[in-house]
Amino acid sequence: MSFTLQPIRVATGFDEEGMMVLDEEQRLVAVLVRLSDENEVAPGQWYLEAGFGRIDGTSHPIFSNLDMAQDWISQRVAKGS
């Protein structure tokens, strides 16, 4: 499954660099936020701020890069197919 990543600012109060993740039908499936380099837990990594549909849930993982995030999202979407 392929996704379109679209940069967006996210009003989290501290980490604003974000990416909207759109599926092949251009539906919003997730919003990722890049944690700042000053973040004490996972500097520079990507956090699942919000998920929709099969991505929605209590799990909000952190990914070292956008490819890993897309792989994780793809696995969740595929489970519903």
Stated as kind and residue range, the H or E segment containing 47 is strand 46-51
Report pTM: 0.91
High-pLDDT (> 70) share of the chain, %: 98
Is 80's pLDDT higher than 80? Answer: no
Q: Which amino acid is at 50?
A: A
**Pairing, β 17-22 against β 62-63:** unpaired
For 8-44, what is each residue's pLDDT tens digit?
Answer: 999 988 888 999 999 999 999 999 999 999 888 899 9
pLDDT at 81 over 60: no
Mean pLDDT over the full length of the chain: 93
